[in-house]
Amino acid sequence: MRGQSVQRALAASSASAAAADPALAELVRRERDAQKQAAAFQGMLTLTLSNPDLSQDGQAAIRLRTNIDQLRTARAAIREEIERQFPDYVNLIDPRPATVDLVQRHLKPGEALISTYVGRDRLFVWAVPASGPVAYAATTIPRGQIEGMVAKLRTALDPYAPTLGDLPAFDVALAARLYQMVLKPVEAGWKDAKQIFVIQHGGLAQIPFSLLVTESTAAATPVDGAPLFSEYKTVPFLARRVGVTQLPSVNALATLRTLPPAPKPSPALAAPSSMPERAPCSSPTGRSKRPRRGR
């Protein structure tokens, strides 16, 4: 549901930006006005038919129905004109099902898109490169197993720890197992990419793919006296290999890529602040404090 809400928000933002064309803006305004007027007449008709005193006036109901039909016909004609002149706008507000061709048209060299679907007993994964064949895998993995693995990994991401030193360890071995289950089978479709877009379904949406571990590795063990989290410096997280961007849906890629470029900031806004620099926080001894890992 969250992904659908984000996709609707993206589509609405893109549609508003695209409607900056004066001719399109005028058609959109007329189409929305017709929709609002039809809705108002429909409300009046409902009120007329539900009120015993008003329902006796058959001519009033006929006039309201006539007005509604005329507005619907006018709106349909305007919509057809929008579809004829501005097909890209229509695809933003009412996107068609995404195809491989559509995805590859919006991917740049060095990019790939990965889409997942968690079924009751099977996991489906597609990897679409910017060009070339799509990699696909269907693996027998119960939904509950995936959800259990993700829940365990999240204990280190949603902790209730009073200090950084009390954070539970991130299970790198489990993260490596999840990578082998989800991304390794379709590696041929994204191995040459420097940036991947991921659509994570079901329980998989609760774990950042950038934290998956690409190779089997020993558990990260803290060393006494070492800086916090230094045990993860050599862990081969996916983020060390590629950039990872999570999208709510496949269509979101096309939506984002069709947005007009953001306006450049005004020189006045981009000028450095004249406020004096603030001294960095430090301990009374002048040395920065580093929290110690709890035991």
Same domain, 76 and 121: no
Mean pLDDT of 179-207: 95
Q: Is 285 among the domain residues?
A: no
pLDDT higher than threshold 90 for residue 174:
yes
Which of 43-47, 84-88, 101-105 is the least confident region? 84-88
Q: Is 278 among the domain residues?
A: no
| Residue 122 or 286, more confident | 122
- List, for residues 76-86, the tens digit of each pLDDT value: 999 888 888 88
| Residue 208 or 248, more confident | 208
pLDDT higher than threshold 70 for residue 247:
yes
Highest mean predicted confidence (pLDDT) among 32-36, 225-229, 261-265: 32-36
Q: Is 288 among the domain residues?
A: no
**Mean pLDDT taken over the chain:** 81
Mean pLDDT of 38-60: 79
Share of the chain above pLDDT 90, in %: 45
Share of the chain above pLDDT 70, in %: 77
Q: Is 194 among the domain residues?
A: yes
Domain residue limits at 151: 100-257
Same domain, 114 and 223: yes
Number of domains in the chain: 2
pLDDT higher than threshold 60 for residue 264:
yes
Same domain, 145 and 35: no
Same domain, 107 and 212: yes
- Domain end among 41, 72, 93: 93
Q: Is 277 among the domain residues?
A: no
Q: How confident is the model at residue 17 (pLDDT cuts 50, 70, 90)?
A: low
SS (H, E, C) the chain: CHHHHHHHHHHHHHHHHHCCCHHHHHHHHHHHHHHHHHHHHHHHHHHHHHCHHHHCCHHHHHHHHHHHHHHHHHHHHHHHHHHHHCHHHHHHHCCCCCCHHHHHHHCCCCEEEEEEEECCCEEEEEEEECCCCCEEEEEECCHHHHHHHHHHHHCCCCCCCCCHHHCCCCCHHHHHHHHHHHCHHHHHHCCCCCEEEEECCHHHHHCCHHHCECCCCCCCCCCCCCCCCHHHCCCCEHHHCCEEEECCCHHHHHHHHCCCCCCCCCHHHHCCCCCCCCCCCCCCCCCCCCCCCCC
Q: How confident is the model at residue 272 (pLDDT cuts 50, 70, 90)?
A: low
Longest dimension (CA), the chain: 89
Q: Is 231 among the domain residues?
A: yes
Q: How confident is the model at residue 2 (pLDDT cuts 50, 70, 90)?
A: very low
pLDDT higher than threshold 90 for residue 168:
no
As given in the structure block, the two tokens for residue 293 are 């890992």
Q: Report pLDDT for 9.
A: 53
